[in-house]
């Protein structure tokens, strides 16, 4: 997790952000990733129900390792989804084995505005899968991802948001003063936030 209000990050969407998270780094820390998988499995059990999932699907690329660990823990098959169909061979966008009508759970590392999730969900449904849930390790919690997925009939589940991180950073004094104020202003109004306000 990075805080840089005076030199903001540019997100995939083009937005400027004083905060940035890199969930890919977690794959290098076995105890941390085991804890995240524990939390994910607990969330799946309580919010979705194990019996409502037939296949775990990982989105290219950062969702793939998390999907593999979760599928292994649940004893379920796993597939992975490309952002675009492969340009050769079968031209597949989804790799793995599933049956028509299988309920797939989409796993990704994070959600900002939900754009990539929508693309994956459309590909999964085009391949004959039933998709009602997506789970991410981290959800920005400030953009319209949950609402955008809800329009498609998909519930977005996240293990943590920036609001959780800021509360912890403030409690531990890892973030204070003008930096904390800038991050809070961003979280309250991300579409209008500007680094000039720092």
Res. 70: pLDDT tops 80: yes
Residue 52 DSSP SS3: helix
> Which distant-in-sequence residues (6+ apart) come within 8 Å of 169 by Cβ?
3, 175, 180
**Among 14-23, 49-58, 148-157, the least confident range:** 14-23
Structural domains counted in the chain: 1
CA distance 175 to 166: 8
Q: Which pair of tokens denotes residue 110? A: 């994070």
**Among 58-67, 153-162, 173-182, the least confident range:** 173-182
CA distance 120 to 108: 10
Given a contact cutoff of 8 angstroms between Cβ atoms, the answer to whether 51 and 31 are in contact is no
* Mean pLDDT of the region 58-79: 97
Supply the mean pLDDT for the chain: 93
Per the listing, tokens 């919690």 go with: 141
Res. 59: pLDDT tops 90: yes
Given a contact cutoff of 8 angstroms between Cβ atoms, the answer to whether 56 and 74 are in contact is yes
Given a contact cutoff of 8 angstroms between Cβ atoms, the answer to whether 136 and 156 are in contact is yes
Res. 76: pLDDT tops 90: yes
Structural domain span for residue 181: 2-197
pTM over 0.95: no
Res. 197: pLDDT tops 70: no
Question: Can you give the pLDDT at residue 85?
Answer: 86
CATH code at position 165? 3.40.50.2020
Q: Which helix (H) or strand (E) holds 139?
A: strand 130-139
């Amino acid at each position: 997790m990075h805080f840089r209000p005076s030199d903001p990050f540019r997100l995939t969407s083009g937005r400027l952000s004083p905060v940035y998270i890199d969930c890919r780094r977690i794959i290098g820390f076995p105890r941390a990733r085991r804890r995240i998988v524990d939390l994910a499995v607990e969330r799946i059990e309580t919010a979705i129900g194990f019996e409502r999932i037939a296949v775990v699907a990982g989105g290219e690329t950062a969702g793939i390792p998390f999907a593999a660990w979760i599928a292994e823990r649940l004893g379920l098959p796993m597939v992975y989804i490309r952002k675009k169909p492969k340009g050769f061979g079968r031209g597949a966008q989804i790799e793995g084995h599933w049956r028509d009508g299988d309920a797939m759970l989409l796993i990704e590392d994070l959600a900002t505005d939900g754009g990539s999730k929508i693309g994956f969900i459309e590909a999964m449904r085009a391949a004959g899968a039933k998709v009602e849930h997506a789970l991410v390790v981290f959800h920005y919690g400030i953009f319209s991802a949950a609402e955008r997925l809800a329009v498609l009939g998909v519930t977005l589940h996240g293990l943590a948001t920036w609001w959780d991180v800021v509360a912890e950073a403030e409690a531990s004094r890892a973030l204070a003063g003008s930096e904390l104020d800038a991050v809070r202003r961003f979280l309250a109004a991300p579409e209008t936030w500007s680094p000039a306000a720092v």
